[in-house]
A and B are shown apart, each in its own frame.
Chain A
Amino acid sequence: MAAFSLPRLASRGALSGIIALYTFYALAPFVWLATMSVRTTGEISLNHYAWPKPFHWEQFRSAWVDSDFATYFWNSTVVVVGAVIVVTLIGAAAAHCLARFQFRGNRLIYGILFSSIIFPPQITLISLYQILVDYNLYNSLLGLTLVYISLQLPLTVYLLEGFFARIPQDLFDAAKIDGYGDLEIFWRIALPVGMPAIATTLILNFIQLWNEFLFAVVLITDPEKRTLPIGIRAFMGDHFQDIGMIATGVMISVIPVIIVYVFFSEKLIRGMTAGAIK
């Protein structure tokens, strides 16, 4: 970074150069992937870096219909949406209670729920496999959903507790005087007021679970039940040379994330980096 000690003009130039280079480095692989997703494997093997001409949009149709990516997509959707809704509800309830009420054991419960955020996944993985087999939940989307709920619970409680704790107590006191019960206060006051934070956790949990690989690969072996990450990985194992179709499948898995990102980039970034900023 010697550029910083050079005269101002040169340092401006160097800065722009670095920024341009880094932007290329950060984005080029993704753009490359996007171009390959609309080219056939034959075209790609002739030249891996050419611009698509023509755009083979039918690649998406055949990935969706002929290569089972639709099945994987819907499995992912069912598991992730289910887990995200449930984890948000029970996480918000716990966070509200921990932020609002003083009772013996409050910090202990918070510590217990939060501590598992540092657990290496293997410590639960092997037994979860055994447990799900015992309860006939192995190879089932319901089993995977339950595991996903437990995976995202610590982060959800952590993010929401911090937010709920900052809601002014007066709001709750007023509601109490108006005759609201504790459950009503949660449902009618805390949840709506906490919506910005809840939206952030919804988006964050969605993206993390949408991308989850390790637990899915252990707990799901049935091809019919595969989620997108393990479906793509399995497809790649079977059709190693079919680069065009792999790229199309990968794009199908990335599109929902990009859509969420386009609309909620601020919220998402804030959620992901919450707790790291001091």
Chain B
Amino acid sequence: MTPKLAAARDPSAPSRTSFTDPRRATWPIIAIFVGPALLVYFGLTAYPAFRTIFDSFFTIDGPGAISFTGLSNYRDLLTDETFWAAVRNTFIWSFVAPVLDVATGLLLAVALYAGVPFARFFRVAWFTPVLLSYVVVAILWMWIYNYDWGAVNIGLRAIGLDSWTQSWLGNPNTALGALIVTHAWKWAGFNMVVCLAAIHSLPSEVLEASELDNCGWWDKLRFIIVPMLRPTLLNLYILAFIGKMKIFDLVWIMTQGGPLWSTETVSTYVYKRAFNWNTFDLGYPSAIAAVWFGVVCAAVMLLNRLLASRERLEF
């Protein structure tokens, strides 16, 4: 009996069901569609992630020199001052910088919404930094922060604040701040576009009503736009937060974590220990990566939970 006939007789056969209900497909068809993606995912994301966690229990000095060390990498981590400096910097960056990014984005969006001429041009112009790679942004801003001829110090000298001039990236007190400003420069346009779209999708009656009540822009922003945009703003905050927990490129090119670990982030520290210090041990950086993986996942879940319960309370 050919398979076709069997299918015709037995209504539960897969090919038969796929013909009657287009929402169903046979397993081979599903495998053809999702198989390659799953293969890539398991081969190049899941397996490496698992292997990094596995490696974190070993000391790995090379392909032949692997020895099991149990939790000792994690114990070392507890007393590793550089690691804690990196964690501190990354947390400062992840919690503080997104506020700056989102607030700037929101103000820019409101400015555009207020109906300036050439709004389309401004929107495109302000978005441009988002497209530049971190390498480009880093090089540009290293020049802007240059002590002798950088725009920041030239500007300060021009308005007579010579005493404020300094080597912005070379001073441990200002280096992290300088990086955060650079990062905000790159991302403000992104937040602006999202906020603008969200403002445009607000029910227009509310804003028109406030217009009739002679409500100023500041009050409008405070009492109408910010509360109504809350989900978008929180979403942007989480997005920026995740991005900052991973930050590497900008720091690596501009300061390499220096001076005196003042800009070290977890990412740059992992990179240094794995590929740059010639310590040849891949186990210890794997442990850092594993810990940080846990921290990022936990932080994202926690933020989601917090925000989700907020939503329930307010609406």
> Which positions in A face B, CB cutoff 8 Å?
1-2, 4-5, 11, 15-16, 18-19, 22-23, 25-30, 32-33, 48-49, 90-91, 93-94, 96-98, 100-103, 109, 112-113, 116, 118-131, 133, 146-147, 149-150, 153, 157, 169, 172-173, 176, 182-183, 186, 207, 210-214, 218, 229-230, 232-233, 236, 243, 246, 250, 253-254, 257-258, 261, 265, 268-269, 272-273, 276-278
7 contacts between A and B (CB under 8 A): A25-B185, A29-B185, A33-B136, A119-B293, A122-B292, A123-B53, A214-B267
Query: How far apart sit A123 and B266, CA to CA, in the bound complex (Å)?
Result: 12
Dominant secondary structure of chain A at its interface with chain B: helix
A101 touching B25 in the complex, CB below 8 Å, given contacts A4-B221, A93-B34, A119-B49: yes
User: How far apart are A40's CB and chain B's nearest CB, in angstroms?
Assistant: 16
Q: Are B49 and A127 in contact (CB under 8 A)?
A: yes
Q: Are A254 and B136 in contact (CB under 8 A)?
A: yes
A273 touching B133 in the complex, CB below 8 Å, given contacts A122-B267, A243-B143: no
Pick from B126, B131, B135, B197: contact of A277, CB under 8 Å: B197
Q: Are A214 and B248 in contact (CB under 8 A)?
A: yes
Query: How far apart sit A32 and B297, CA to CA, in the bound complex (Å)?
Result: 40
Interface centre among A29, A213, A229, A253, by most chain B C-beta atoms within 10 angstroms, is A29
Pick from B32, B235, B245, B249: contact of A214, CB under 8 Å: B249
Q: Are B267 and A116 in contact (CB under 8 A)?
A: no
Cβ of B51 under 8 Å from chain A: yes
Query: How far apart sit A112 and B49, CA to CA, in the bound complex (Å)?
Result: 13
A26 touching B129 in the complex, CB below 8 Å, given contacts A103-B30, A172-B22, A276-B235: yes
A232 touching B139 in the complex, CB below 8 Å, given contacts A102-B23, A277-B197: yes
Query: How far apart sit A83 and B302, CA to CA, in the bound complex (Å)?
Result: 34
Q: Are A150 and B41 in contact (CB under 8 A)?
A: yes
Q: Are B44 and A121 in contact (CB under 8 A)?
A: no
Enumerate B9-38 residues with CB–CB distance to A below 8 Å. 18-19, 22-25, 27, 29-30, 32-34, 36-38
Interface centre among B52, B201, B219, B292, by most chain A C-beta atoms within 10 angstroms, is B52
Cβ of B239 under 8 Å from chain A: yes
- The tally of residues in B whose CB lies under 8 Å from a CB in A reads 99
Instruction: Name the residue of chain B whose CB is nearest to the CB of A231.
Output: B135
Cβ of B69 under 8 Å from chain A: no
Q: Are A213 and B249 in contact (CB under 8 A)?
A: yes
Chain A binder among B70-78, B203-211, B280-288: B280-288
Q: Are A128 and B44 in contact (CB under 8 A)?
A: yes
A30 touching B128 in the complex, CB below 8 Å, given contacts A4-B216, A121-B246, A122-B285: yes
Query: How far apart sit A122 and B132, CA to CA, in the bound complex (Å)?
Result: 23
Q: Are B135 and A26 in contact (CB under 8 A)?
A: no
User: How far apart are B237's CB and chain A's nearest CB, in angstroms?
Assistant: 10
Q: How many A-B residue pairs have CB under 8 A?
A: 273
Q: Are A1 and B218 in contact (CB under 8 A)?
A: yes
Chain A residues whose C-beta falls within 8 Å of the C-beta of B185 in the assembled complex:
25-26, 29
Instruction: Name the residue of chain A whose CB is nearest to the CB of B40.
Output: A150
A153 touching B37 in the complex, CB below 8 Å, given contacts A124-B44, A229-B135, A277-B194: yes
Task: Digitize B260-295: 1 where CB-to-A-CB distance is under 8 Å, 0 elsewhere.
Answer: 000000110011001100000010011011101100
Cβ of B125 under 8 Å from chain A: yes
Enumerate B83-108 residues with CB–CB distance to A below 8 Å. 107-108
Query: How far apart sit A260 and B167, CA to CA, in the bound complex (Å)?
Result: 36
Cβ of B144 under 8 Å from chain A: yes
A101 touching B216 in the complex, CB below 8 Å, given contacts A90-B40, A246-B139: no
Instruction: Name the residue of chain A whose CB is nearest to the CB of B232.
Output: A278
A122 touching B24 in the complex, CB below 8 Å, given contacts A94-B34, A278-B231: no
Query: How far apart sit A90 and B32, CA to CA, in the bound complex (Å)?
Result: 10
Cβ of B308 under 8 Å from chain A: no
Query: How far apart sit A33 and B232, CA to CA, in the bound complex (Å)?
Result: 34
Cβ of B122 under 8 Å from chain A: yes
